[in-house]
Amino acid sequence: MLLLKPNCECCDRDLPPASADARICSFECTFCADCVDQVLNGACPNCGGNFVPRPIRPAALLAHRPASSERVLAKDGPCLERRPAA
């Protein structure tokens, strides 16, 4: 079952379970469509694989199989420049 991570690992943008802008690789690294296209050039920085749109879990199923609340962020590379200042 997919984790449905809550954010883009590059810019930290929120990606709720119903987001059509979420993209994942085969290892479920999660990024927003903007970062995939503009920063990562379609290749996952972690595994080198491609991205596909993340499936949307029906809202009725989220109660029993909730999305992850753990935020993951890239630790280096071009993504660091995309994040809001802390």
Q: List the pLDDT tens digit at each of the 86 positions of the chain.
A: 999 999 999 999 999 999 999 999 999 999 999 999 999 999 999 999 999 999 999 999 999 999 999 999 998 888 888 777 76
**11, 35 Cβ separation under 8 angstroms:** yes
**Dist CA 61 CA 49 (whole Å):** 29
Q: Is 68 helix (H, G, I), strand (E, B) or coil?
A: coil
Question: How confident is the model at residue 64, as a pLDDT?
Answer: 95
Question: How confident is the model at residue 84, as a pLDDT?
Answer: 72
CA 28 from centre of chain: 8
Question: How confident is the model at residue 80, as a pLDDT?
Answer: 83
Task: Tally the residues of the chain.
Answer: 86
Question: How confident is the model at residue 34, as a pLDDT?
Answer: 98
Phi, psi (rounded to 5 degrees) for 53: -60, 135
Closest listed residue to residue 39, CA positions, set 17, 71, 57, 13: 13
**Dist CA 26 CA 38 (whole Å):** 20
